[in-house]
Amino acid sequence: TREALALQIVMNVANIGLDVWFVWGMGFGAYGVGLGTACAEGVALLLGLLSATGFQPLGLWPLALLAMGLFALLAARATTPLRAFGLGWLFGLAHFTLGNNWIATAFTYQSEMPAALGWVAVPLLSLYLAIYPALAALAARLLVKRGPGRVSPGWAFALVFAAAWIVSEWMRGWVFTGYAWNPFAMVLLGPFDRPGLAAIAPVTGTYALSGLAVLLGCALVLLLRERNWLAGGALAALLLAGMYWP
């Protein structure tokens, strides 16, 4: 579609522009090509940061859902499964660095540890945690084949990516004794006086609720991309009702 094509063009133009600047403008030579590509991958980092704004105390759940859906679009359009893995790792690195910043704050209450250590520990931990979103992106990219003309498969990818996210999040809570904090399901928590869509967690479980959150984000982005305003508006209205009513 034109929106997906426009997104790809913007990324490619930014990549080329950065390559030219680093290679000729800055005199970095061949190293500049890699540096320019790394800067262009900042889109995945930005989406990772935005996806973490859905957690409290910010609670920007619409922004978090849209960021997740846009990331799924990027991963679906990755030229290779390895590139999808790399995009997923960058997304996860930013997502967990922001989402786990409370750990750094906790260090300020530990008299035996310097507070600055917390701001080092969080990014280091995120280097590992980012593997799990990367695995979800890799699995979806491997299982769903792209259509002709490098058009993303859309809904099929969204379903598989949501399922892969459930599995990767379960793995995160189990491997090496697990790190289950900050499941993506928490973006579906309502305001402090009501549970939001997280009210169904006793039925679905946390992992399935995370998959639902991922799928909702993908659905919003796909409906907007398809200009299906009626269905998109209906989904947005149902989301608002589920988050704020009763």
Q: Can you tell me the mean pLDDT for 76-80? A: 86
Note the maximum CA span of the chain: 61
Bridge partners of 189, per DSSP, are 196
**Which one is predicted more confidently, 235 or 111?**
235
**Average pLDDT of 182-208?**
92
When mean pLDDT is compared across 21-25, 50-54, 59-63, 96-100, the lowest value belongs to 21-25
Main-chain phi, psi angles of 74, to 5 degrees: -60, -45
pLDDT of residue 165: 98
Contact between 114 and 167 (Cβ < 8 Å) = no
Between 79 and 133, the more confident residue is: 133
Higher-pLDDT residue of 3 and 113 is: 113
Amino acid at 158: A
At 21, the pLDDT band (50, 70, 90 cuts) reads very low
- Which of the residue ranges 9-18, 40-49, 53-62, 110-119 would you say has the lowest mean pLDDT? 9-18
pLDDT at 150: 45
Of 26 and 220, the one with more pLDDT:
220
- pTM across the whole model: 0.81
Q: What is the pLDDT of residues 117-158, one digit of tens each?
A: 878 889 999 999 999 999 999 999 999 976 554 445 589 999
For residue 116, pLDDT over 90 is answered with: no
Q: Is the pLDDT of residue 109 over 80?
A: no
DSSP the chain: -HHHHHHHHHHHHHHHHHHHIIIIIS--THHHHHHHHHHHTHHHHHHHHHHGGGSTTT--HHHHHHHHHHHHHHHHT-SSHHHHHHHHHHHHHHHHHHHTHHHHHHGGG-TTS-THHHHHHHHHHHHHHTHHHHHHHHHHHHHS---GGG---THHHHHHHHHHHHHHHHHHTTGGG----S-GGGGGB--TTS-BGGGGHHHH-HHHHHHHHHHHHHHHHHHHHTT-HHHHHHHHHHHHHHHH--
Mean pLDDT (whole number) for 48-67: 94
